[in-house]
């Protein structure tokens, strides 16, 4: 009897030990680079909530193949220099297995040499400049390229709204410069004419000088490439100066705070964003995330929250399939075909998303899907 009890104890203890070790093999460290301070900190707040949500969710389900997941957050201040410092620290000191984040293409471009040298994969939520994919295999993005966004925007405005003349007001960074060039190119290919192109330094609040020049040129459409904070000021000043141009914009204006702060002056603005439709499974995944996120944080996710959560899920899924880091992680990610909270997730071989672009409208104080979907040829 004593031998039987000892045997049972040994088996039970062994089973407990094996199970316990399977749930706590180690920690998978994933870096996260966002502008937690500075002008763009509101974007990072939304991202942090999404990262916390994703981390708690995966760990509650047993982690990744029994390993706990931990996000290590670093602040880039929204600048390329800050991004470089953050990436170096995460890779050289924290020894992360992958990185998510770097909201802006300019920051992604700055950290690209570091990623290449160390073979570390970065999954970016909103990098849209096509140049981020040149000369690297370690950058993945969930946002359509500026070329896709500009093609769809120009096509909708010229072919559907029958607009003819264009003015642009864009931030002087990689995304803004590329968007201005590409939108003007597509606009003219669709038979319109680009009349005036004005730029500004990111973070400024007064656009009256540029808007005065644009008003004199009198385009029937004004494209603004802005963050949502700048968008609020631009829209208010457009209204104050009585510009009659139709306003169309980039995806960063899709932020509930813009609607709250801009009020009625945002009415009628169109903008592009990733197509978030898809199958019933895609819709179910999105609705579940949105409901649970809103219940937890007492506010719905904004565009950065949606995209950041999908970035995390992309890394998790690839690692669940046996990839760890570097080339194996990258090669597994680009083969994924999975539902996401911001639409179906698939990639091209260069790391860019196979994702259509959709046109949206601000109507009655809400974001309204125009059900206009396309992609550049």
Report the chain's mean pLDDT, rounded to a whole number.
Answer: 91
What is the reported pLDDT for 276? 76
Query: 3 is written with which tokens?
Result: 């031998």
> Which residues belong to CATH 3.40.50.2300 in the chain?
29-143+277-355, 146-275+359-374
Kind of pairing between the strands at 98-101 and 27-34:
parallel
What tens digit of pLDDT does each residue of 140-190 get? Answer: 999 988 999 999 999 999 999 999 999 999 999 888 999 999 999 999 999
As a whole number of angstroms, the distance between CA 46 and CA 252 comes to: 13
**In terms of CATH, what superfamily is 146-275+359-374?**
Response regulator (3.40.50.2300)
CATH architecture group of domain 29-143+277-355: 3-Layer(aba) Sandwich (3.40)
What is the reported pLDDT for 200? 97
pTM above 0.85, yes or no: no
What is the reported pLDDT for 289? 95
Q: Is 329 left (phi over 0), alpha (psi -120 to 50) or beta?
A: alpha
* Residues β-bridged to residue 360: 271, 369
Q: How far is CA 287 from CA 37, 217, 300, in A?
A: 30, 44, 11
Residue 266 — very low, low, confident or very high, per pLDDT cuts 50/70/90?
Answer: very high
What is the reported pLDDT for 97? 98
The highest-confidence range among 21-25, 127-131, 265-269, by mean pLDDT, is 265-269
The mean pLDDT value for 212-233 works out to 96
Q: Where are the alpha helices (DSSP H) in the chain?
A: 2-23, 41-60, 80-92, 105-118, 146-155, 174-189, 208-217, 228-240, 256-262, 280-297, 303-320, 326-333
What is the reported pLDDT for 206? 97
Query: How far is C-alpha 139 from the geometric centre of its chain's CA atoms?
Result: 13
Q: Are 202 and 103 in contact (CB under 8 A)?
A: no
The mean pLDDT value for 113-133 works out to 95
As a whole number of angstroms, the distance between CA 354 and CA 334 comes to: 10
What is the reported pLDDT for 372? 96
Check whether 49 has a pLDDT greater than 60: yes
Check whether 20 has a pLDDT greater than 70: no
What is the reported pLDDT for 210? 98
Nearest residue to 53 via CA among 344, 306, 333, 323:
306
Query: 59 is written with which tokens?
Result: 């760990």
Instruction: Provide the CB-side half-sphere exposure for 372 (13 A, CA).
Output: 20
Q: Is 96 left (phi over 0), alpha (psi -120 to 50) or beta?
A: beta
Q: Are 68 and 97 in contact (CB under 8 A)?
A: no
Kind of pairing between the strands at 357-363 and 345-346:
unpaired
């Amino acid at each position: 009897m004593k031998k039987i009890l000892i045997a049972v104890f040994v088996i039970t203890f062994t089973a407990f030990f094996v199970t316990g070790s399977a749930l706590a093999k180690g920690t998978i460290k994933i870096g996260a680079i966002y502008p937690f301070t500075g002008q763009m900190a509101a974007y990072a707040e939304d991202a942090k909530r999404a990262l916390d949500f994703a981390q708690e969710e995966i760990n509650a389900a047993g982690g990744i193949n029994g390993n706990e997941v931990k996000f290590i957050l670093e602040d880039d201040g929204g600048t390329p220099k800050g991004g470089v410092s953050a990436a170096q620290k995460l890779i050289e000191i924290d020894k992360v297995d992958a990185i998510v984040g770097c909201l802006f293409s300019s920051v992604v471009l700055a950290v690209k040499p570091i990623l290449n040298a160390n073979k570390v994969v970065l999954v970016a939520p909103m990098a849209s400049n096509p140049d981020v994919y040149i000369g690297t295999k370690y950058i993945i993005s969930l946002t359509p390229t500026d070329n896709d966004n500009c093609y769809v925007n120009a096509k909708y405005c010229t072919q559907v709204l029958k607009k003819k003349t264009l003015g642009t007001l864009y931030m002087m960074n990689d995304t803004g410069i590329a968007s201005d060039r590409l939108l003007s190119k597509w606009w003219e290919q669709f038979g319109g004419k680009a009349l005036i192109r004005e730029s500004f330094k990111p973070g400024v609040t007064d656009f009256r000088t540029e808007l005065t020049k644009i008003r004199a040129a009198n385009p029937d459409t004004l494209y603004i490439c802005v963050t949502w904070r700048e968008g609020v000021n631009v829209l208010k000043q457009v209204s104050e100066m009585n510009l009659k141009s139709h306003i169309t914009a980039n995806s960063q204006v899709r932020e509930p705070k813009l609607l709250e702060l801009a009020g009625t002056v945002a009415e009628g603005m169109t903008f592009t964003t990733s197509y978030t439709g898809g199958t019933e499974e895609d819709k179910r995944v999105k609705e579940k995330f949105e409901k649970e996120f809103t219940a937890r944080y007492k506010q719905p996710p904004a565009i950065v929250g949606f995209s950041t959560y999908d970035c995390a899920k992309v890394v998790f899924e690839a690692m669940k399939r046996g990839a760890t880091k570097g080339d194996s992680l990258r090669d597994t990610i680009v083969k994924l075909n999975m539902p996401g909270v911001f639409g179906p997730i698939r990639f091209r071989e260069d790391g860019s998303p196979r994702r259509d672009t959709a046109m949206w409208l601000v109507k009655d104080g809400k974001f309204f899907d125009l059900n206009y979907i396309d992609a550049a040829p």
